Structure 1
Amino acid sequence: MPAFSPLSSYAAGSYASIVPATTAHASAGFISPIAGAHMSNVERVALATDLAAARALRAVAEPRPRQTCNTLLPQTSPVEVQVQRRTAMHLRSESDRVAFLNENRVSAVWMEMLDATRASGGCPTEVRPGQVATDIAHRMSCLGVGVGELRRPDRHSASGTAADVGSASVGASEFATIEALSLPSVHIREPGFEPGTMAALEYDLGWRALAPSWQAALPAIDEDVWASNPNTALFCAVGRAVLPHLATDERGELMDGICARIVSFHMHAGGL
């Protein structure tokens, strides 16, 4: 918009209070601060000169780029895989990177979950119910190994990059992988079961304790059936009962690796 030095003193506050609430009476109700000002002939000439020399510039609103893909793991190749700070392999192509992540899918989800629930300043992470599950599905799609990506007919294309995943289904659930980590509470949509809460910790510990009794007969969990009734009362009650009796070694560390992972995840999300 044009800027005129003689009018720079007219702030919006000088007439904002008399702008009508509706546009129906705008012509009668709006009073221009310029029209109400008393100007001499010299001021009028100066104003006319400024108006004649003014240039109307077209306003261009450029959209801000949104960081829709925010992952911990690299989204493009080449990538170095390091083990104990030593390079173990080079993933030089996209097919190599995607194949490696698919082979190590559980570890990839685990690392992205830790990043998605990272707390700051010792305060618990602030997430809404079910937000982490949605975030993880989006992250895996950004990495090119999401469940939606696996269903794409062109997923083996050599030209596929992280920029192409915008067309993929980011709503696909990673429930099967997260359940394999014994952290199904991440998918609970009820308030109070967010990562880092005691209810979520008890639920996952109860899930771990009861898993051997039904996994042999029910190796795969239907997410929709489970989501309709996650049975929070049962699993939380079992988890609450076993929590004080978790076996530890002489150093005080949990002996069961899965329980250790559950506890460490929720302590991490809780800011510890």
Structure 2
Amino acid sequence: MVKLHIKKDNDSHFLYETTVQIPVEDLMTDVCAIYNGRLKVQRLCAEVEELAEHGITLPPNMQGLTDEQLVDLKLRDEWEDKCVPSGGAIDRRDDIGRRNGKAPNEKMAEVLKKTVKEAKDMISKKKVDANVCVTQPVVLEALNIIRGAVMIVYPMNLPPHDPVRMELENNEELAGSQASLDVFEESNTSLWFSGKEMLRGKKLCDFVGKNEKTKIVAKLQKRGQGAPAREPVVSEDEQKKMMAYYYRKQEEMKKLETEEDDSYLNSQWADNQALKKSFQGLGNIKWGPR
């Protein structure tokens, strides 16, 4: 099975394993689904962390308003009494006024936070270093454990406008947000290898050869943006080691330049007349006390 190290620009995202006989269309479908699924898990994890800290999201017409403004406008969150977390709520005000401040108790909040960490680990970029591939079932499992944790803490379900519920029901609204720019639509996405676009209608072996024991770097790119940047000749880790080495050498030179002890000048290796003296037979002359 050939392994593809999927990148966007120079950022690593995940490893994908397949056969060289896979059509490029099927490859693009699977890779885009995993890439977008990972983004979805990351968005969900961020929102669930906020849910654990500050409770459910306020209705859109109440978000960002002060308590005085809510009283003046006679606005009240009808979901506050319907969506009480299991074990009761504790007051933890949301300073930006996006959530209602009725957070789950410590035990329930820990359930959410622990699940978030587990889901993040399942789709982490660190799996690339561990040589572990990510698949659609893995992404689906990450979504399912988050769904399960949310249902434990909020068995009555969340308000329909809460981003966590919207994500879990695939009703998220990304239009106009930065998240929408990160999502790849399969029809508007290309995959590049070695400076060449993998064209639909062909198979992966047409670009990487027929050796199944191959590992390549493939880059996702939106169509119309040209070819992605090639891989750097020196890796990031190697670059850091080189910088550390030259910095250490530079510090050593500074230390030598500021060193007051110049006794080393009396050493034989520091005598720029040593070669001339050796030809004249004066190299081994030792001067006695005067």
Give the structure, 1 or 2, with the largest relative contact order (CA under 8 Å, sep 6 or more).
2
Same fold (TM over 0.5): no
Given the two structures, how large is their TM-score scaled by the length of structure 1?
Answer: 0.23
Given the two structures, how large is their TM-score scaled by the length of structure 2?
Answer: 0.22
Structure of larger gyration radius: 2
Higher strand share: 2
